[in-house]
Amino acid sequence: MLQIICTLLVFLILMIPIGNYLYHVSAFKKTFADPVFDKVDNSIYKTLKIDKSNMTWKEYAINLLLVNCCLVLVGYLILRIQSIPLLNPNKIGSMEQSLSFNTIISFMTNTNLQHYAGESGLSYLSQMFVIIMMMFTSAATGFAACIAMIRGILGEKMGNFYVDFIRIITRFLIPASIIVGLILVSQGVMQNLHSNISVTTIESKTQEIASGPIASLESIKHLGTNGGGFVGANSSTPLENPTIISNILELFSMMILPACCVFIFGRMADDKIKRKKQINNAQSNSDNKLFMGKEGRTIFIAMSVLFLIGLGVCYHSEMLGNHAAISSGISNSIGNMEGKEVRFGIAQSSLFTTVTTSFTTGTVNNMHDTLTPIGGMIPLLHMMLNVVFGGAGVGLMNILIYAILAVFICGLMIGRTPEYLGKKIEGKEMKLAALCIIIHPLLILGFSALSLCLKGGLAGITNPQFHGLSQILYEFSSAAANNGSGFEGLADNTLFWNVSTGIVMFFGRYLSLIIQLAIAGSLLNKTDINESIGTLKTNNYSFAIILVFIIYIFAALTFLPVLALGPISEFLTL
């Protein structure tokens, strides 16, 4: 417990200066790094002839999609021709069509679901110019969309996608990746372009040890909440995660950007409130303030409550151990260590599991398929919720939709027109919000049902009864939430699973982003209304609790029946 508490406390301390820096980057305020990065950014704008004028929400969404589509075409081409003798010392062949489709959609949508083992499925050319490159661009896409949505909800101009996209890459993702990568190298993570190393084991057998640019991938995969892995075993192997220091660093890396998005939202909302009150020194007060505003604090508390409940349940379940083993007379003194690294143990494994599926990163330091039924239900549930901090930017966007829903429901209960951040919530916004919330369970449950009806889907199930259903639910939940982790017992590298999860990843990413930008654009065009005695306060602890209950209620209404047929039934049978 002390390990977990100390890790989270250090993270909260780190979040303040990094969140403050990212707020200044997002709000175009001065930072210490401007003299360098202004020149870099301006040279990029000039070279690419980028028009930096403000966009409408439609223009923002269209340009976002166009950039992503161009990157998909280039990446797909590289995967199909990666057998060429360029940065391919291990002589890896070209990737098959359906797997190439799945892989390119996976990494472009910030999902990083892998139906292949990286050390044997990709050349260094593909690892660097497809996988690592898209880890930067997909994270920047989500962050840019989030900042645009925040501006729209607060009544400001949406901004320019290309400017937001470039600034987060040059001013945070690249510098932070270099720093994290160097620390990982110091801990023993490989970074080279050599071929795999062949060694002879003590059993006189030959073993191939992966080599390559592992550290550079590890740094951005966590900072950009990407997931995936250079090798198939991901961060459970010493090649990617050799020490407790590297483990904690990877935890911090995947948590920082989603949490800082909440920090940015709170500060920008606080700026708006001060402007409305016409405080003369609002600018200086905001710049000197290090902590998130009240609106951000409310969202952060709601997310933290969801996270801590899930972490507590997962940790407690793994400490109890496997009930089937206990009933057979096997000692339970160390809990359920199946599929876990002894250098991390139950505590760091449970924390990593909850973090990677709450912050929708998808990287793993233990095998989720070997978790206890209730312990495995927590990462599954958090991907179904998709609002427990979430990925880079999109987690905040999702919970803002629930916040709009919460003020609408509470407004109906007290008989007043719902308002959020000075904007009236009306029929158009509620229809879009309802559609946005429905898409996620529809993709998960619809495709899970489809896979149980088709031979291609049934052929992938390797575990009988309840756990087989949990495997399918986890796969589509991971795809729809753009997470990328999996219950790896599923035989998923087939035409059916490659195509079906590719479709779910695509629609799970872009349909939600477009609808959320549309809501922001609708609120942007509305006139601010003054706060009255009947206005529901959305910046206090009461609203945070309301938000938590509404999220859990909607989760229960949509996912409880299928959870009862999967992990809950599996637990009861043990």
pLDDT of residue 109: 95
* CA dihedral (62, 64, 68, 71) positive or negative: positive
pLDDT confidence tier of residue 77, bands split at 50, 70 and 90: very high
Report the C-alpha gap between 229 and 127 in whole angstroms: 10
Nearest to 560, CA basis, from 367, 365, 369, 385:
385
Pairing outcome for strands 423-424 and 419-420: antiparallel
Report the C-alpha gap between 137 and 127 in whole angstroms: 14
pLDDT at 432 over 60: yes
pLDDT of residue 289: 53
For the stretch 251-274, pLDDT in tens is: 999 999 999 999 999 999 998 887
pLDDT at 401 over 50: yes
What is the share, in percent, of the chain residues with pLDDT greater than 70?
97
Looking at residue 214, its amino acid is I
Give the mean pLDDT of 510-530: 93
pLDDT of residue 534: 73
Residue 201 phi/psi, 5-degree rounding, is: -80, 175
pLDDT at 286 over 50: no
Residue 99 phi/psi, 5-degree rounding, is: -70, -35
pLDDT of residue 28: 94
pLDDT at 529 over 70: yes
Q: Which residues contact 208 (CB under 8 A, 6 or more apart)?
A: 119, 196, 197, 198
**Average pLDDT, rounded, for the chain:** 92
Which residues does residue 208 pair with via DSSP β-bridges, in sequence order?
198
The SS3 of residue 111 is coil
CB 400 within 8 A of CB 506: no
pLDDT at 574 over 50: yes
Residue 531 phi/psi, 5-degree rounding, is: -70, 140
Which residues does residue 198 pair with via DSSP β-bridges, in sequence order?
208
pLDDT at 384 over 70: yes
Give the mean pLDDT of 145-161: 95
pLDDT of residue 331: 65
pLDDT at 93 over 50: yes
pLDDT at 140 over 70: yes
pLDDT of residue 322: 80
pLDDT at 43 over 90: yes
pLDDT of residue 566: 94
pLDDT confidence tier of residue 290, bands split at 50, 70 and 90: low
Position with higher pLDDT, 274 vs 569: 569
pLDDT at 447 over 70: yes
pLDDT of residue 32: 93
Global pTM value: 0.94
**Domains of the chain: which residue ranges?**
393-573
pLDDT confidence tier of residue 551, bands split at 50, 70 and 90: very high
Give the mean pLDDT of 230-255: 94
Report the C-alpha gap between 371 and 566 in whole angstroms: 14
> Could you give the count of Cα atoms lying within 13 Å of 81 in the half-sphere of its Cβ?
8
pLDDT of residue 284: 44
pLDDT of residue 527: 87
Nearest to 423, CA basis, from 154, 65, 112, 194:
154
Q: Element (H or E) spanning 133, and its range?
A: helix 133-153
Write out the DSSP string of 484-514: ----TTS---SHHHHHHHHHHHHHHHHHHHH
Write out the DSSP string of 50-62: -------HHHHHH
Give the mean pLDDT of 460-470: 89
pLDDT at 313 over 80: yes
Give the mean pLDDT of 33-42: 94
